[in-house]
Amino acid sequence: MATAEAAHHDEHHGHPTGILRWITTTNHKDIGTLYLCFSLTMFLVGGLMALVIRAELFQPGLQVVDPHFFNQMTTMHALVMIFGAVMPGFVGFANWMIPMMIGAPDMALPRLNNWSFWILPFAFTMLLASLFTAGGGPASGWTLYAPLSIQGGMSVDMTIFAIHMMGVSSILGAINVIVTIFNMRAPGMALMKLPLFVWTWLITAFLLIAVMPVLAGAVTMLLTDRHFDTAFFNPAGGGDPVMFQHIFWFFGHPEVYILILPAFGIISEIIPTFSRKPLFGYTTMVLATAGIAFLSFIVWAHHMFTVGMPLAGELFFMYSTMLIAVPTGVKVFNWVSTMWRGSLTFETPMLFALAVVFLFTIGGFSGLMLAITPADFQYHDTYFVVAHFHYVLFSGSVMAMMGGAYYWLPKWTGHMYDERLGKIHFWTNTIFFNITFFPQHFLGLAGMPRRIPDYALQFTEFNVISSMGAFGLGLSQLIFVYVVIKCVRGGKKASDKVWDQPRGLEWTVPSPAPHHTFDTPPKIA
Amino acid sequence: MSSAPGSYYVPNPSAWPIIGSIGLFTLLLGFMLFLNEGAAGTWLMIVGAGIVALMMFGWFGTVISESEGGLYNDHVDMSFRMSMLWFIFSEVMFFAAFFGALFYTRTLAVPWLADTDLLWPNYEGGWPTAGPKGPLPIDADTAVSDPAAQFSTIGPWGIPVLNTFLLLASSVTVTIAHHALKHNARGNLILWLGVTLVLGFVFLYFQAVEYSHAYGELGLTLGTGVYGATFFMLTGFHGLHVTIGAIMLTVVWLRCLRGHFKPENHFAFEASAWYWHFVDTVWVGLFVFVYVF
Amino acid sequence: MLCSRIRTTAIAGLSAAAFGLMADVAVAAWEVNLQPPVSPIGRDILELHNLIMLICLIIFLVVFSVMFYSLYAHRKSKGHEASQFSHSTKAEVVWTIIPFLILVGMAIPSTATLIKMEDTSKADLTVKITGYQWKWQYEYPEHGVSFYSNLSTPRAQIEGIEPKGENYLLEVDNPLVIPTNKKVRFLLTANDVIHAWWIPQFGTKKDAIPGYINEMWTLVEKPGTYRGQCAELCGKDHGFMPIVVEAKAPEEFEAWLETEKQRQAKQTADLNRDWSKDELLAHGEKVYVNCVACHGAAGKGLPEAFPAIAGSPVATGPIAEHVSLVMNGKSGTAMQAFKNQLSDLDIAAVVTYQRNALGNSTGDVVQPSQVNSIR
Ligand code: HEA
Ligand code: HEA
Ligand code: CUA
Ligand SMILES: [Cu+2]
């Protein structure tokens, strides 16, 4: 239907080159690349902070940093990882893949797309600069609970404004994703034909638009409590510190699904390819994703079982949280069924996908245990929780992104990555990951609280193991960085299909994909 | 850069986004310094706001000229519409946080505090309240003698109810203007849109009067416990949104004067009108839950 | 019940499956499960924990045996051809319903335990616990006894100058004392930020929230000393805010209560006499432990965050301002009001100490009566 000269203008006009090209670009692939590079940088920054944490916890006693700085590291590590590494990482994947997967020339709102990205470096400048202010960075944990965060210095204000900026970025990015998916599909690309990655992102984007404004509201109240004399969280004025937690977690819980749903999407692309079989139960996968998203809005107070809620509230949040295991379980079972009687090979992306299914499930099960309210009274604010969320966040979200990167790198760069190094990265990463975080389950059960710079002697052994694992895990990421750079620089030419029998539109175009992939909408079978 | 039927307009590289980011950053940095008594803060804020305004002019200017230049087709128009609706949804959620705070404190926190005799022996709770340590509420709309000990609230049946009518009427007039636009009745369009604007600005004027009344005579300020906090944050953010909506409508009105928009193609008009209806709806919620109950 | 069997199985299963090398779980340092409970609720929680752990472990083994079997048997390298089936409504319904039923099975005992935990009625003794940055206050409202409980691990151990003791970081100057086999109700609140009071072996943890009172209860069956920690991030020394409880047989508890009452009566008497400078300095040095966390043992503070006492304009300026700062704190900063935590004597002593030690030498002496007149 289209006359195709539409998007071909790029080559003819004097387009900026060099750094200006990246700053002013409206191309979804350029912007995707920016997001991914940003995410990787932030991952290394956040990881270094984690290493400071692990170095201090290597031995009992205070050796490396003072407790105040330790708290700043904990806070910053989490903010940088969540808002700087994982969320932008997934937006990078969305930018690259969604237009390609649905047969569109670009994102629906290309200029806005540029802005969504370019807010982030400024937001993180603000956030990271707060470490250098008088009194140091924010030290109240990433959850910024009042009234502790009200005590902090100007760094807390910087954090609040950085969060406002990240919020704007996320909301604009999410709007763009939704509109692209609804409005830019090639003719014939019915909703129920969308690749699962697109579906998960559609739902993620909805979650983002629904909860980022709530976070903005929460930190705005914090700001006015700090500077404008309001009493939202001050009991003397009739407020309640716990109200901050309610508002925060109304954002916070859907947020954790924002961090995992696109990962599920990536896994659901990789597994069928290397099983040489269609995804099992496509429709239920979509429904399960929607179900998880719906439930995520009514479970938030499971982070707050110990605040002294009325019994009825505790029961409600326990039951609703437990329910999430059902749709998530459906996903796990469907992935396993996709492999069942397939014809399996184990290239690096597949290895990552398998590890994600396996390790995420461990994290999911510990999540389920946390949902059991009476037991959570023991687990809450211990390393058991820390172990839980690193299993879902690192071996869920981050490793899914790594798998996705290996999977699509050839399409992005036109070169094959180094398979041997990829496998080495996989094994070192996965082994060290488990050495780092598995012992933390035991630490938590034995009673080690989280967010402490020093601990009692009976926790020593597992902490030593965990810290050694963390350094190994850090080093193994250097392999990843090397593989990516090497692949961008050159390597064996990748074919259009790249893999044996991949499904999806992205494999029908050349590698590397042309600047505007689909000037003419493709024919959908 | 053709816009042949069926193709989708992909704009050229643009510098407006980065300018917007720099402006936003400067503005917020300035605000942060201002809050922490840094001298440079105020100036940075002004500069930042200026850059943001420049970006808005430039960016929207580009969009307007692209639109008037016929580069957009229905497909692009649809993208704009969808994004505006989702943007409004995000605004709804922003207000939801503050309404949530209001409901939470009223129905849970304050009664709990009133029950906590061990810590707050003489606190009765109830609504309005400024909390156990705050001033005591007296009848609505009565001037207080000692703001440290008393405060009074703004009753619903004075200016607030009038304001409700103003905004509801303005929603009607903007719809009339929309119909006029669809029937290409330019005179009516300009008239009714103008009336909408007047109603909006009168609303804002009344709000300002209310605020000075509250601060001056009623002893009701942002610092008047949770009542003051929720009252001013909700009505304040609403007022801010009315201001934004009014600015949007003003721009649209000026564009109408210049002969912009066509009966079948007038996204900017519709977007502003939707936004206006949204602001209106929020007010009705405010009127009911902040003033009446 | 069958729970102890479940517990053994769970521990064995877990350690075998996950950490094969750790067959010997007896060593405390390698503890991989919850601490041994000493209260009925603690026991219920442990059983619940073991039960759910076991269920999860079984599901896990089943799911991943299937997966690994498939990885092994359906490899391409073995020449396995892919079949192309893509759904099976029957299977999907089954694996939606079965997990749901399992969850219902887990929810039932959880609900029962939760209801028990939340029932604080008919308590034999009430203790009010208040969290401060960074110490606890314990009050027995029915007996008019109250005291503070501070970390007693010496700084030198923390900084690695001295070898660490057995109860490193889990020791306090004044532990909470409660009777065994009595239902003790705790009322929790906080003075500044949120803290959480937790003794793992009791199975109790609850947040202490400023302005609000939370309730929980325990019944300790075995006399002994039980240790826990503050479990909610409360600022710099969150990690140095231990909780120690001594559970004593009821008679011993009564005896302890009597001595404690007498000790506190003597303290009140002390407030009314005049104190010599040396006495004040000696006592002040002890009271100063309340301040060390922020202002440092040598009074040097922490640049930009906590001011130094040495040469401080307040600690060398007018006495009245100094006393009133210590009593009322400074709102919006971590400097809290010590009015309700410290007696007139304590405040007089610590102010005298700050003015004559830590690098200051104003020569001023502040008497408890002076403080009382400002109060
Ligand atoms: C990617 C992020 C992510 C994900 C996906 C999850 C998933 C889940 N989380 Fe997690 N969680 C976090 C990130 C995440 N979480 C973070 C960051 C925190 C800490 C925040 C902070 O305090 O700083 C946290 C904390 C947290 C708590 C609070 C703990 C505390 O502080 O006391 C709880 C409590 O209920 C919880 C529960 C769950 C549950 C039930 C799931 C479920 O979605 C898991 C469902 C999956 C499965 C159950 C496995 C697969 C299912 C089957 C194989 C089917 C069969 C199973 C059964 C029938 C049992 N999480
Ligand atoms: C996506 C989110 C994410 C990710 C990926 C990670 C990754 C890691 N996290 Fe993080 N973490 C959180 C989210 C995340 N974390 C959150 C939300 C919290 C809670 C915060 C709070 O309590 O408020 C937390 C808290 C947290 C704690 C508890 C702190 C405390 O309670 O005081 C610990 C402790 O071990 C920890 C460790 C680690 C480690 C070792 C990694 C590793 O995986 C990191 C690996 C990466 C690197 C190490 C960097 C790469 C390598 C280089 C830069 C090269 C140089 C390296 C060498 C020379 C060795 N994290
Ligand atoms: Cu008190 Cu942590
Ligand atoms: Cu959650």
Whether C270-374 and C125-261 are alike in CATH topology: the answer is no
Whether C22 shows a pLDDT value over 50: the answer reads no
Domains of chain A: 30-508 (1.20.210.10)
pLDDT tens-digit map of C236-248: 999 999 999 999 9
d(CA C358, CA C322): 15
Task: Determine what percent of chain C is predicted with pLDDT higher than 90.
Answer: 50
Mean pLDDT of the A92-112 span: 93
Whether A165 shows a pLDDT value over 60: the answer reads yes
The size of the A-C interface in CB pairs under 8 A is 295
CB contact under 8 A, C236 and A236: no
Contacts of B98 in chain A (CB under 8 A): 217, 221
pLDDT band at C29 (very low <50, low <70, confident <90, very high): low
Distance of CA B175 to the CA centre of its chain: 19
**Surface of A (435-474) touching B: CB under 8 A:** none
pLDDT band at C175 (very low <50, low <70, confident <90, very high): very high
CB contact under 8 A, C189 and B119: yes
The best mutation among A52, A66, A74, A83 to test binding of ligand 2, ranked by most ligand atoms within 8 Å of the C-beta, falls on: A74
- Ligand 2: does its nearest atom lie under 6 Å from the Cβ of A393? yes
pLDDT band at A5 (very low <50, low <70, confident <90, very high): very low
Say whether A303 is catalytic: yes
Q: Supply C362's token pair.
A: 């104003």
Q: Are the beta carbons of A295 and A324 closer than 8 angstroms?
A: yes
The verdict on B15 touching A (C-beta cutoff 8 Å) is yes
Mean pLDDT of the A206-210 span: 97
For ligand 2, atom 5, name the residue with the nearest CA: A394
**Distance in Å, CA B242 to ligand 3 centroid:** 44
- Ligand 3: does its nearest atom lie under 6 Å from the Cβ of C232? yes
Between residues C343 and C193, which one has the greater pLDDT?
C193
pLDDT tens-digit map of A279-304: 999 999 999 999 999 999 999 999 99
Residues with CB under 5 A from ligand 4 (ion): A 253
**Surface of A (252-291) touching C: CB under 8 A:** 275-284
- Minimal Cα distance from B134: which residue of A? A237
Mean pLDDT of the A397-421 span: 95
The best mutation among A44, A77, A394, A443 to test binding of ligand 2, ranked by most ligand atoms within 8 Å of the C-beta, falls on: A77
In the prediction, which pLDDT does C16 show? 43
pLDDT band at A52 (very low <50, low <70, confident <90, very high): very high
Given the structure tokens 């009911």, which residue do they identify? Answer: B288
Q: Where in the sequence of chain B do the CATH 1.20.120.80 domains occur?
A: 75-292
pLDDT tens-digit map of B136-171: 999 888 888 888 888 999 989 989 999 999 999 999
- Ligand 3: does its nearest atom lie under 6 Å from the Cβ of C195? yes
Between residues B72 and C124, which one has the greater pLDDT?
C124
The best mutation among A39, A48, A51 to test binding of ligand 2, ranked by most ligand atoms within 8 Å of the C-beta, falls on: A51
Mean pLDDT of the B258-266 span: 87
Atom of ligand 1 nearest to the CA of A333: 53
pLDDT band at B89 (very low <50, low <70, confident <90, very high): very high
Mean pLDDT of the A140-168 span: 94
**May I ask the CATH architecture of the domain B75-292?**
Up-down Bundle (1.20)
Which of B61-70, B191-200, B229-238 has the lowest average pLDDT? B61-70
In the prediction, which pLDDT does C20 show? 37
When CB atoms are compared, the residue of A2, A236, A238 closest to B105 is A238
Say whether A390 is catalytic: no
Which helix or strand (DSSP H or E) is residue C186 part of?
strand C183-190
Contacts of A380 in chain C (CB under 8 A): 196, 205, 231
Which of A325-334, B33-42, C134-143 has the lowest average pLDDT? B33-42
Between residues A352 and C313, which one has the greater pLDDT?
A352
| Domain residue extents for chain C | 34-67+89-119, 125-261, 270-374
**Distance in Å, CA A81 to ligand 2 centroid:** 8
CB contact under 8 A, B36 and A157: yes
Determine the Cα angle at A477 with ends A475 and A479, to 5°. Answer: 90
**Surface of B (31-70) touching A: CB under 8 A:** 31-32, 35-36, 59
For ligand 3, atom 1, name the residue with the nearest CA: C195
Which helix or strand (DSSP H or E) is residue A423 part of?
helix A419-446
In the prediction, which pLDDT does A525 show? 65
d(CA C38, CA A180): 59
ipTM: 0.90
Mean of pLDDT over chain A:
93
pLDDT tens-digit map of C205-247: 999 999 999 999 999 999 999 999 999 999 999 999 999 999 9
Say whether A331 is catalytic: yes
Mean pLDDT of the C357-370 span: 85
Contacts of B87 in chain A (CB under 8 A): 171, 175
d(CA A227, CA A190): 51
In the prediction, which pLDDT does A303 show? 96
Which of A28, A54, A164, A331 is catalytic? The answer is A331
CATH number belonging to domain C125-261: 2.60.40.420
d(CA C353, CA C365): 9
Q: Name residue C227's beta-bridge partners.
A: C244
Q: Name residue C185's beta-bridge partners.
A: C126, C217
For ligand 2, atom 32, name the residue with the nearest CA: A451
pLDDT tens-digit map of C325-348: 898 888 777 888 888 778 888 898
Atom of ligand 3 nearest to the CA of C208: 1
Given the structure tokens 């034995």, which residue do they identify? Answer: A446
- For residue B35, the SS3 value is helix
Task: Determine what percent of chain A is predicted with pLDDT higher than 90.
Answer: 86
In the prediction, which pLDDT does B251 show? 93
pLDDT band at A515 (very low <50, low <70, confident <90, very high): confident
* A84-88, B253-257, C25-29, C369-373, range with greatest mean pLDDT: A84-88
pLDDT band at A7 (very low <50, low <70, confident <90, very high): very low
pLDDT band at C28 (very low <50, low <70, confident <90, very high): low
Atom of ligand 1 nearest to the CA of A372: 35
Q: Phi then psi for C85, rounded to 5 degrees?
A: -65, 150
In the prediction, which pLDDT does A2 show? 37
Atom of ligand 2 nearest to the CA of A433: 43
When CB atoms are compared, the residue of B15, B24, B89 closest to A122 is B24
Whether B13 shows a pLDDT value over 90: the answer reads no
In the prediction, which pLDDT does C340 show? 76
- Ligand 3: does its nearest atom lie under 6 Å from the Cβ of C177? no
Mean pLDDT of the A268-273 span: 96
Say whether A164 is catalytic: no
Whether B4 shows a pLDDT value over 50: the answer reads no
pLDDT band at A169 (very low <50, low <70, confident <90, very high): very high
**May I ask the CATH architecture of the domain B11-71?**
Orthogonal Bundle (1.10)
- Which residues lie below 8 Å from residue B243, measured CB to CB, with a gap of 6+? B204
Mean pLDDT of the C23-47 span: 77
In the prediction, which pLDDT does A233 show? 96
Contacts of A214 in chain B (CB under 8 A): 93-94, 96-97, 100
Whether C303 shows a pLDDT value over 80: the answer reads no
In the prediction, which pLDDT does B177 show? 94
Q: Are the beta carbons of A170 and A208 closer than 8 angstroms?
A: yes
Q: Where in the sequence of chain B do the CATH 1.10.287 domains occur?
A: 11-71
CATH number belonging to domain C270-374: 1.10.760.10
